[in-house]
Amino acid sequence: MSKTSVSNETGDVVCLWVEPWGTDHWMRPGEEFTVVTETEPEQSPFNVVVHDQGITVWVNGGHDAEVFDRNGDLVPCGHQRPAEDRPDKS
């Protein structure tokens, strides 16, 4: 099992995308999330990319990944997504 932590040290809400699935997990200032996968550490399980739209963690090795908060609670896709970024439900 491998883990990588991502923290938001800005004053804004930041999106953490987990690829290749395209899941979005929104972090408030000061929050930290951990991405966990079954890939072994020696297999280079993650690539992290910081860009102007947020942070992307690419999970390598063909295993699923989950995102957890500091308390160890599961952070689902769409967590804290701003209203303007939510899909239209009509």
Q: What is the pLDDT of residues 10-27, one digit of tens each?
A: 999 999 999 999 999 999
Domain range for 16: 2-85
Q: What is the mean pLDDT of residues 62-85?
A: 92
How do residues 37-54 score in pLDDT, each as one tens digit?
987 777 778 999 999 999
Rounded Cα gap, residues 74 and 37, in angstroms: 13
Q: What is the mean pLDDT of residues 58-82?
A: 93
Structural domains of the chain, count: 1
Q: With respect to residue 59, please indicate whether it lies within any of the assigned structural domains.
A: yes
Q: With respect to residue 37, please indicate whether it lies within any of the assigned structural domains.
A: yes
| Tokens of residue 35, six digits | 């991405």
Q: With respect to residue 78, please indicate whether it lies within any of the assigned structural domains.
A: yes
Kind of pairing between the strands at 54-59 and 46-51: antiparallel
Rounded Cα gap, residues 47 and 27, in angstroms: 19
Q: With respect to residue 39, please indicate whether it lies within any of the assigned structural domains.
A: yes
Q: With respect to residue 32, please indicate whether it lies within any of the assigned structural domains.
A: yes
- The three-point CA angle 15-20-26 to 5° equals 15
Q: With respect to residue 90, please indicate whether it lies within any of the assigned structural domains.
A: no
**What pTM value is reported for the model?**
0.86
Q: With respect to residue 64, please indicate whether it lies within any of the assigned structural domains.
A: yes
| Tokens of residue 9, six digits | 């040290």
Rounded Cα gap, residues 90 and 71, in angstroms: 35
Q: With respect to residue 9, please indicate whether it lies within any of the assigned structural domains.
A: yes
